Amino acid sequence: MIGRRLLQKRVWNSGRRWLFPSSLLSPVPAEYCKRHFSTHVLAAFSSPGDNPVNLKIPYTENKCKFFSSIAVAHLSTNGIVDVPLAQTGEGIAECELLKWFVHEGDEIDEFQPLCEVQSDKATIEITSRYKGRVAQVLHVPGSIVKVGETLLKMAVEENRIPLVVLGNLENEKHCDTKLNKDCTGGVLSTPAVRNLAKEHGINIDEVQGSGKDSRVLKEDVLKYAAQKSIIEDPSFTATADLGELFHGETSSSQVSAEVSGHYEDTIVPLRGFQRTMVKTMSMAAKVPHFHYVEEIDCDALAELKASFQTNNSEPGIKFTFLPILIKSLSLALSKYPVVNSCFNEESVEVILRGSHNIGIAMATPCGLVVPNIKNVQSLSILEITKELSRLQQLALDNKLSPDDISGGTITLSNIGAIGGKFGAPIVNLPEVAIIAMGRIQKLPRVADDGDIYSASIMTVNIGADHRVLDGATVARFCNEWKRFIEKPELLMLHMK
């Protein structure tokens, strides 16, 4: 497999926990304090209909001297803070207070559970953001508390009141540019939208909000990003043909960095399919590979495909090269079954698989997946076309079943759909061979009589496990496959 980083799908509700009851406040780097900046403290999370408590606190360098790694603010002169019912999920406007875990006068640690509330179907423990003492409890169990309303008051030591800052902490250097502007406030938006902005390297404060109260919505961030040419047209990724889409996150964050004028690193934790890919590729890298490259003349293939399309009696079916390539591959595998095998390292055995379960590498919004078409040896080209289409759709919707993506015996990677002459693919363990197909290009060829003619040439690169396959076997196998592609009428000879 060609290993490169892919766009990962994020569950859109992920993101920094700004004002969540049990959140760990992201520590603000010490240098943050040293700057002369304005920022905001939101003691209550904003939600429609609520007035957030905004406190504009100008800093001077002198004051910063007293602060620890978490930036602090004086919220009041007597050190009492209002602890609100923070947002517990989008759209939830109020909760029922079920019970208190603390009493007035109790000493509380940071993250200690304060009370339990209920919203709709869920009971939720609210934990304390501060270390201090409960000064006053403002609601009794059974009462309905609106999001943003104060639950209790706490007496907190002045130099321990943490700041909750709007805007992207990683872009705190942007504050420099805001120093001289009238900083009227961070923008309103949900954590999911903030995370989206952060992913694209956008300072959310620069985005024009189109929602209520100038709230920044997801569409606003995407539009802003598109204007800054940070992201490509999303329809491209969705309709790209089979193959691996390589939009490295490094490239997009580099683009955004250039646009915003800052060259900063972005940390991207790898999850889901990407995380699996790290592990599978690491294991595959231990396999001794060799690569065999061949050029295949696809003129006859193009004619065949055109003929299928013209004489197509079933609407909704689009004929491409791939099903024909898949079927010819299967016929070649019948003659060279060792290429369709698995290698068991412990027992040093090769299992010659009876079924040709041909995997097709696909790019999905979540990353690279390889669903396979089972029993190609028993399927017609039309059946292969339909099954391929079904798997493609499931892959795009991220609905592939475990059965769809397991049991493969050989993999095809149609990287040519995106571009490139050929790749150097890495086998998809425990298979022993993988075939990367480059783009079909019109190239000049020399005929026997010395004339130059143009032919549609596809370069293929077969990556093979050298513990099982040798060059001669792969070369002969490839010759067989090439024969079927260049002379598709031979498929009929072997048809059952």
Partner 1 sequence: MLIPQTRNIGLPMMNLMRFKGLPILQQLHIEEQLLRTSSENWCIINDGTNDPTIVMGVSGKPAELLEIESVLHDQVPVIRRFTGGGTVIVDHETIFVTFICNKEAVPDLQPYPRPIMSWSNTLYSKVFQGIGDFHLRENDYVFGNHKFGGNAQSITKNKWIHHTSFLWDFDVRNMAYLKLPKRAPAYRSARGHLDFICRLKDYMPRSIFIDKTVEAAGTHFSLRSLESEAIETCSETEFRPLTRFLTNEELEAAAALAGQ
For the annotated catalytic residues, the residue numbers are 466, 470
Q: Pick from 54, 280, 320, 355 the residue near partner 1 by CB under 8 A.
A: 280
Work out how close the CB of 125 gets to partner 1 at its nearest, in angstroms, rounded to a whole number. Answer: 5
User: How far is 264 from 254, CA to CA, in rounded Å?
Assistant: 8
C-alpha dist (Å) from residue 88 to 32, 64, 97: 29, 32, 13
Q: Pick from 342, 381, 418, 490 the residue near partner 1 by CB under 8 A.
A: 342
Q: Pick from 30, 238, 283, 443 the residue near partner 1 by CB under 8 A.
A: 283
Q: Which of the 8 DSSP states describes residue 326?
A: H
Q: Pick from 50, 70, 94, 113 the residue near partner 1 by CB under 8 A.
A: 113
Given the structure tokens 């498929």, which residue do they identify? 491
The verdict on 347 binding partner 1 (CB under 8 A) reads no
Work out how close the CB of 13 gets to partner 1 at its nearest, in angstroms, rounded to a whole number. Answer: 4
The verdict on 120 binding partner 1 (CB under 8 A) reads yes
Work out how close the CB of 24 gets to partner 1 at its nearest, in angstroms, rounded to a whole number. Answer: 11
Q: Pick from 191, 323, 367, 425 the residue near partner 1 by CB under 8 A.
A: 191
Q: Pick from 173, 212, 390, 399 the residue near partner 1 by CB under 8 A.
A: 399
CB closer to partner 1 out of 29 and 91: 91
The verdict on 286 binding partner 1 (CB under 8 A) reads no
- Binding range to partner 1, per CB under 8 A, among 76-84, 275-283, 417-425, 464-472: 275-283
Q: Pick from 142, 288, 315, 316 the residue near partner 1 by CB under 8 A.
A: 142
Q: Pick from 228, 271, 289, 421 the residue near partner 1 by CB under 8 A.
A: 271
Q: What would the two tokens of residue 203 be?
A: 């300072």
Reduce the DSSP state of residue 396 to 3 states and report it: helix
User: How far is 329 from 481, CA to CA, in rounded Å?
Assistant: 6
User: How far is 372 from 408, CA to CA, in rounded Å?
Assistant: 6
The verdict on 185 binding partner 1 (CB under 8 A) reads no
Q: Pick from 41, 42, 81, 124 the residue near partner 1 by CB under 8 A.
A: 124
Q: Pick from 22, 38, 320, 392 the residue near partner 1 by CB under 8 A.
A: 22
Specify the pairing of strand 410-413 against strand 433-446.
parallel
List for the chain the helix, strand, coil content (%; round to 5).
30, 25, 45
User: How far is 310 from 312, CA to CA, in rounded Å?
Assistant: 6
Rg, Å, the chain Cα set = 30
Indicate the length of the chain as a whole number.
496
- Binding range to partner 1, per CB under 8 A, among 32-40, 233-241, 267-275, 432-440: 267-275
Q: Which of the 8 DSSP states describes residue 210?
A: -
Work out how close the CB of 71 gets to partner 1 at its nearest, in angstroms, rounded to a whole number. Answer: 24
The verdict on 3 binding partner 1 (CB under 8 A) reads no
CB closer to partner 1 out of 203 and 428: 428
CB closer to partner 1 out of 298 and 362: 362
Cβ-based neighbours of 282, under 8 Å, separated by 6 or more: none
DSSP 155-201: EE-GGG-B----S-GGGTTHHHHHTTS----PPP--HHHHHHHHHTT
Work out how close the CB of 45 gets to partner 1 at its nearest, in angstroms, rounded to a whole number. Answer: 12
User: Taking CB under 8 A as the criterion, which residues in 62-101 touch partner 1?
Assistant: 88-92, 96, 98
User: How far is 433 from 148, CA to CA, in rounded Å?
Assistant: 59
Q: Are 327 and 381 in contact (CB under 8 A)?
A: yes
CB closer to partner 1 out of 10 and 289: 10
Secondary structure element (H or E) that encloses residue 310, with its range: helix 299-310
Number of residues that bind partner 1 (CB under 8 A): 46
Q: Are 293 and 438 in contact (CB under 8 A)?
A: no
The verdict on 496 binding partner 1 (CB under 8 A) reads no
Q: Pick from 127, 189, 203, 341 the residue near partner 1 by CB under 8 A.
A: 127
The verdict on 389 binding partner 1 (CB under 8 A) reads no
User: How far is 369 from 428, CA to CA, in rounded Å?
Assistant: 11
Which amino acid, one-letter code, is at 353?
R
For residue 314, count CB atoms less than 10 angstroms from its CB and return exposed for 0-12, middle for 13-18, buried for 19 or more: exposed
173: number of Cβ within 10 Å: 12
Q: Which of the 8 DSSP states describes residue 69?
A: S
The verdict on 365 binding partner 1 (CB under 8 A) reads no
- Binding range to partner 1, per CB under 8 A, among 36-44, 67-75, 401-409, 478-486: 401-409
CB closer to partner 1 out of 162 and 488: 162
Site residues for partner 1 per CB under 8 A: 10-11, 13-15, 17, 20, 22, 88-92, 96, 98, 111, 113, 118-125, 127, 142, 191, 271-272, 275-276, 279-280, 283, 342, 399, 401-402, 405-408, 428-430
